[in-house]
């Protein structure tokens, strides 16, 4: 008998609503604070950089938020995304565990990020925004927003962390193909960028610096708004299409996950898969363990502090209640550029504090070993970020083997690595270090 390995849904099964976990939190999330007054930030103070419709979503406690028709129509280009069972990997590991993964690599940009990029471009268009400014690490977010802006006719400016700009030229070309302007950050386009370059011309950049540049660009140019690819509540919420689909697909597979895994940079792909499962933990008393995986050199949950901190290096953003390594922390140059962020989504931070989720961290060598094993058994080449989730999934499967017990593992395959081959080159030629 063939084991079913691919669980697909039809276009009609694209979720009609996003899930807002704010409605189900056992304790309320401490609100973002105004950096000057240290008082909870007001709607009108956020609208300098975000359109009002998205600020309202950011502050919303409504459980189910309807997905606008035009957004669902674009989602249909790649959603519902498939859920697969990695039977060859199971066999290679000789594990009794069942390993499932939700494949977000089939979006046009190759990752989960278009799930929120399309929504954000749509709401900005509705609000009359002409131009969006943003930052990007590995280029995944920049390319997703570039595509979304093009589809809705908005100009897009991307500040790309310089080390990735050099290491990952193909994502820059992808952004340019979708019509965006791309600058290596720190850049000469902003005062903050010029200041950083003056003090350190070789500065490799960081997400924090790039965010500062994008915000400065926004406040200095009328008609421009800022867009963030992770961390914020509305971004995490837009990603929950992933988990809602996965719940239906696990039902098709006739299994219930014992452990749900996602890698975390700012926390959004993890949130997208995990929050609908966390809801079932809170509301339906289900017992699944939910695990966030971070890179050990930038481990905000496992090594950071829970406190109010800025989202960016120049201290321009509201203060967010989150696990942080400090807004001035410049993470080492690892290949998983999308995981190089000093903080963590406040919602993910809060769930961790409440004990509803767990966290582990891995060095990049261990992650790449897992990525190789995955590619050689399942075919798909993972992004270095996704490799961290795969590492954790494999370790869970090995534990299951050692305990001689079945375990159902579900992880988020946040993106493919076809534009990350230079990092595979580093691994294959023995140059990858932790």
Which residues of the shown chain bind ligand PLP in the complex (CB under 6 A)?
Answer: 111, 113, 140-141, 230, 263-270, 338-339, 383, 385-386, 414-415
Nearest distance in Å: CB 389, ligand PLP:
8
Beta strands in 98-186 (DSSP E): 98-103, 131-136, 155-161, 181-185
Alpha-carbon distance 343 to 339, whole Å?
A: 10
Distances (CA, A) of 18 to 60, 231, 260, 306: 12, 16, 19, 27
Residue 382 CB burial class (10 angstroms; 0-12, 13-18, ≥19):
buried
Give 118 or 253: the residue with its C-beta nearer to ligand PLP: 118
CB of 37 to ligand PLP, least distance (A): 29
In angstroms, the CA 407 to CA 287 distance is 13
Place of tokens 């979708």: 178
Q: Which is nearer to ligand PLP, 83 or 236 (CB)?
A: 236
Q: Smallest gap, in angstroms, from Cβ of residue 285 to ligand PLP?
A: 27
- Structure tokens, 45: 């103070």
3-state SS, residue 409: strand
Measured from the CB atom, the residue of 51 and 265 that comes closer to ligand PLP is 265
C-alpha to C-alpha distance for 136 and 116, rounded to whole angstroms: 14
- Asked whether the beta carbons of 80 and 8 are under 8 A apart, the reply is yes
DSSP string, 193-208: HHHHHHH-TT----HH
Considering beta carbons, is residue 107 or 190 the nearer one to ligand PLP?
107
Backbone angles phi, psi at 136, to 5 degrees: -145, 145
Least distance from C-beta 141 to ligand PLP, angstroms?
6
DSSP type of residue 367: H
Q: Which is nearer to ligand PLP, 250 or 301 (CB)?
A: 301
Question: Whose Cβ is closer to ligand PLP: residue 339's or residue 371's?
Answer: 339
Q: In angstroms, what is the minimal distance from the CB of 137 to ligand PLP?
A: 7
* Closest to ligand PLP by CB, 97 or 298: 298
Tell me the closest approach of the beta carbon of residue 292 to ligand PLP, in angstroms: 9
Q: Least distance from C-beta 384 to ligand PLP, angstroms?
A: 8
């Amino acid at each position: 008998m063939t084991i079913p390995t691919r669980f697909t849904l039809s276009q009609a099964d694209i979720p009609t609503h996003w899930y807002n976990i704010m409605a189900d939190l056992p304790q309320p999330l401490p609100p973002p604070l105004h950096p000057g007054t240290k008082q909870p930030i007001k709607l009108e103070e956020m609208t300098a950089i975000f359109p009002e419709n998205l600020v309202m979503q950011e502050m919303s406690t409504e459980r189910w938020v309807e997905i606008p028709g035009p957004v669902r129509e674009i989602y249909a280009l790649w959603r519902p995304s498939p859920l697969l069972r990695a039977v060859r990997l199971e066999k290679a590991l000789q594990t009794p565990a069942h390993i499932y993964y939700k494949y977000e690599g089939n979006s046009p940009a190759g990752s989960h990020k278009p799930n929120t990029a399309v929504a954000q471009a749509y709401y900005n268009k509705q609000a009359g925004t002409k131009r969006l400014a943003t930052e990007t690490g590995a280029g995944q977010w920049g390319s997703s927003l570039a595509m979304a802006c093009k589809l809705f006719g908005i100009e897009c400016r991307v500040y790309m962390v310089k080390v990735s700009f050099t290491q990952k030229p193909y994502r820059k070309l992808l952004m340019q193909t979708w019509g965006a302007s791309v600058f290596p950050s720190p850049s000469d386009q902003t005062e903050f960028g010029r200041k950083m370059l003056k003090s350190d011309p070789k500065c490799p950049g960081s997400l924090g610096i790039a965010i500062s540049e994008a915000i400065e660009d926004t406040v200095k140019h009328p008609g421009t708004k800022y867009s963030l690819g992770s961390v914020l509540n509305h971004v995490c919420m837009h990603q929950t299409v992933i988990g809602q689909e996965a719940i239906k697909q696990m039902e098709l597979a006739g299994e219930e996950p014992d452990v749900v895994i996602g890698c975390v940079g700012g926390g959004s792909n993890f949130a997208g898969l995990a929050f609908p499962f966390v809801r079932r933990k809170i509301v339906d008393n289900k017992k699944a363990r939910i695990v966030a995986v971070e890179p050990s050199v930038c481990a905000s949950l496992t090594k950071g502090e829970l406190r109010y901190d800025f989202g960016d290096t120049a201290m321009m953003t509201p203060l967010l209640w989150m696990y942080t390594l400090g807004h001035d922390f410049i993470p080492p140059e690892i290949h998983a550029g999308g995981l190089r962020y000093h903080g963590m989504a406040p919602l993910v931070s809060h769930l961790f504090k409440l004990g509803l989720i767990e966290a582990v961290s891995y060095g990049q060598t261990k992650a790449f070993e897992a990525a190789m094993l995955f590619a050689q058994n399942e075919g798909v080449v993972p992004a270095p970020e996704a490799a961290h989730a795969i590492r954790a999934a494999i370790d869970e499967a090995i534990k299951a083997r050692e305990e001689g017990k079945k375990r159902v593992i579900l992880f988020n395959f946040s993106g493919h690595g076809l534009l990350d081959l230079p990092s595979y080159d580093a691994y294959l030629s023995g140059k990858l270090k932790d």
